[in-house]
Amino acid sequence: MPKNPFAGATFDKSRQKWKAQARFAGVLKSLGYYNTQVEAHEAVVQARQQPAELAITRRSIVEASGGNSPTVAQSNVLIEQPWALTLVEARIFVLFLQQLPRDETESRRLVVPLKELVGATPIGGRGYQYLHSALEGLAAVQVTLPVPNRQHDWHRAPLVHSMKLDSGQGTISGYFSPDVLPYLTNLAENFTLGQVADLLSIKSPTTHRFYWLLKSWEFRSPVTVPVARLKELTTGQAYPQYSDYRRNALIPAVAELNELSFEISYKEHKLGRSVDKVEFSIKSKARPIPKQLILPLDKEKGTVVTVVSELTPLQQKVQTRLQKLKLTQAQVKKVLDVVVGEEQLTKVLKETYPVLRDFETKAKPGENVAAATMALLKSTFPAIWASN
DNA sequence: TTTCCTACATCGATAAACTG
DNA sequence: CAGTTTATCGATGTAGGAAA
């Protein structure tokens, strides 16, 4: 059966008139009778628009820098572009931004030590191949820039040029293109700050996109975005089905961001049967992650452990994760003592994520989360048993 | 990670019943 | 009679697991 282009308007044979009806919150309502199908359809459209969308006209405000951790900034003009960077490309971009003085007026060569990208571990043979393609990808990025007062003009510029990888020095260097520079430095309005530590810890390119987008929308939260626009800005052509998009992009990204300094929730607005818009409620966590691990008294030795161990950002993430999973301070400490190295810590985060998700969604009520978590960790890291 | 599959939920269209 | 609600059906979107 062909779809009625005038939804909600149907011909009533017994009355020889067009009937308008629409469902609200699952309840079908009659909206009167009309002589034409178009009129009936318009009645439906109008009735639907009753909870009219609030026009957001607040002007953009300058975000205050929170805390003393390093931040990078970019104009919202750049953020609201459908560019698709790989994870490595996105990280390199962040590192370049970090090297860029905020008051720079001309494009200079920026140098990024490779170890900031990949850590102290040496880069294997294939590692350089990845880097090559990442730099190529970055060099190929084009952005569309606004042309003031001229609606029909069009300005497309490369993001960077002259990217260089010097394996001898262990550096990457390059220039931002002069056209783009005004959107990266001397920013006065409509720009967004990102935390370098957060950005570099992000594990998926989609989350990167979400990070900047949601951060730039935070000041006008709640924000309602049409699904088509959201997809365009985050995953582009992928996921023709919204449910696939939600599962593979939206949910993982929001979950990962909530592990960082965000508190994001969202509501789906449906148009008919399909999800039409997504309303985000975005907040930054007031008190992020405690910098220090508070250690309990060591009763056996009768001494006060006064160790003030500075935790790496990754260790802090593991700490908060385990705290969410209701582990005691002692258990958290034990895990952090035994599990060392970026790879291992990341593994902990990865392993415990499903547990946390199940716990938070109450998929397994009545379960002892802490015990389950410890069992899981002990099976993955036998050393935790050994140190018992 | 992405696509496919299936049970299920919800929608619009329609006929029919209800109300004053 | 005119307007509205109820019951039902086929179509289509969705959730969640399986398969690729």
Are residue A217 and residue A167 in the same domain, yes or no? no
pLDDT reported for residue A368: 63
Is residue A53 included in any domain, yes or no? no
pLDDT reported for residue A168: 72
Distance, CA of A116 to CA of A109 (rounded, Å): 17
Are residue A181 and residue A96 in the same domain, yes or no? yes
Distance, CA of A200 to CA of A87 (rounded, Å): 9
A98 CB and strand B closer than 7 A: no
Q: In what order do the strands lie in the sheet with A9-12?
A: A9-12, A17-24, A27-34
Are residue A233 and residue A279 in the same domain, yes or no? yes
Is residue A357 included in any domain, yes or no? yes
Are residue A359 and residue A330 in the same domain, yes or no? yes
- pLDDT at residue A99 greater than cutoff 80: yes
CA torsion through residues A237, A209, A139, A148, sign: positive
Is residue A254 included in any domain, yes or no? yes
- pLDDT at residue A175 greater than cutoff 80: yes
Are residue A93 and residue A173 in the same domain, yes or no? yes
A21 CB and strand B closer than 7 A: yes
Are residue A151 and residue A180 in the same domain, yes or no? yes
pLDDT reported for residue A286: 62
Query: What percentage of chain A reaches a pLDDT higher than 70?
Result: 61
pLDDT-derived band at A268 (thresholds 50, 70, 90) equals confident
- The strand pairing partners of A264, in sequence order, are A282
List all residues 6 or more positions away from A349 whose beta carbon is below 8 Å from its beta carbon. Answer: A317, A318, A321
Count of domains forming chain A? 4
- pLDDT at residue A313 greater than cutoff 50: yes
pLDDT mean over A129-153: 76
Is residue A301 included in any domain, yes or no? no
- pLDDT at residue A53 greater than cutoff 70: no
Two tokens, residue A367: 């379960």
Residue nearest to nucleotide C14 (CA to C1'): A243
A127, A155, A185 - which closes a domain: A185
Which of A 224-243 have CB under 7 A of nucleic chain B?
238-239
The residue count of chain A comes to: 388
List all residues 6 or more positions away from A167 whose beta carbon is below 8 Å from its beta carbon. Answer: A114, A123, A128
Nucleotides of B under 7 A from a protein CB: 1-4, 10-15
Which nt has its C1' nearest the CA of A227? C13
| Higher-pLDDT residue of A39, A13 | A39
Distance of A89 CA from B9 C1′ (whole Å): 42
- pLDDT at residue A109 greater than cutoff 50: yes
Is residue A68 included in any domain, yes or no? no
Are residue A101 and residue A158 in the same domain, yes or no? yes
Distance, CA of A207 to CA of A194 (rounded, Å): 13
A10 CB and strand B closer than 7 A: yes
Are residue A181 and residue A208 in the same domain, yes or no? no
Are residue A105 and residue A24 in the same domain, yes or no? no
pLDDT mean over A236-261: 74
CA torsion through residues A323, A329, A334, A340, sign: positive
Which nt has its C1' nearest the CA of A6? B12
pLDDT mean over A371-382: 71
- pLDDT at residue A158 greater than cutoff 80: yes
CB-based burial of residue A114 (10 Å sphere; 0-12 exposed, 13-18 middle, 19+ buried)? buried
CA torsion through residues A253, A254, A255, A258, sign: positive
Distance of A49 CA from B2 C1′ (whole Å): 36
- pLDDT at residue A266 greater than cutoff 50: yes
Are residue A160 and residue A222 in the same domain, yes or no? no
| Higher-pLDDT residue of A377, A160 | A160
AA letter at A144: T
| Higher-pLDDT residue of A44, A176 | A176
- pLDDT at residue A12 greater than cutoff 70: no
pLDDT-derived band at A66 (thresholds 50, 70, 90) equals very low
Which nt has its C1' nearest the CA of A203? B1
A95 CB and strand B closer than 7 A: no
Q: Are the C-beta atoms of residues A5 and A18 closer than 8 Å to each other?
A: no
Q: What backbone torsions phi and psi does residue A32 show, to the nearest 5 degrees? A: 100, 175
A241, A272, A287 - which closes a domain: A287
List all residues 6 or more positions away from A329 whose beta carbon is below 8 Å from its beta carbon. Answer: A293, A294, A295, A296
Distance, CA of A175 to CA of A181 (rounded, Å): 9
Q: Are the C-beta atoms of residues A145 and A83 closer than 8 Å to each other?
A: no
pLDDT mean over A231-248: 72
A9 CB and strand B closer than 7 A: yes
pLDDT-derived band at A388 (thresholds 50, 70, 90) equals very low
Is residue A305 included in any domain, yes or no? no
CATH no. for residue A235? Answer: 1.10.10.10
Which of A75, A138, A84 is closest to A112 using CA atoms?
A: A138
Q: pLDDT, tens digit, for every residue of A186-225?
A: 877 788 888 887 887 777 777 888 888 888 888 887 888 8
- Element of type H or E holding A375: helix A369-380
Is residue A63 included in any domain, yes or no? no
Residues packed against strand C, CB within 7 Å = A 1, 3, 15, 19, 21, 27-33, 241-243, 246-247, 270, 273-275
pLDDT reported for residue A100: 85
pLDDT reported for residue A41: 73
pLDDT-derived band at A367 (thresholds 50, 70, 90) equals low
Which residue range is the domain that position A267 belongs to? Answer: 202-287
pLDDT reported for residue A4: 53
Are residue A236 and residue A159 in the same domain, yes or no? no
A287, A304, A326 - which closes a domain: A287
Distance of A270 CA from B17 C1′ (whole Å): 31
Is residue A72 included in any domain, yes or no? no
Are residue A268 and residue A317 in the same domain, yes or no? no
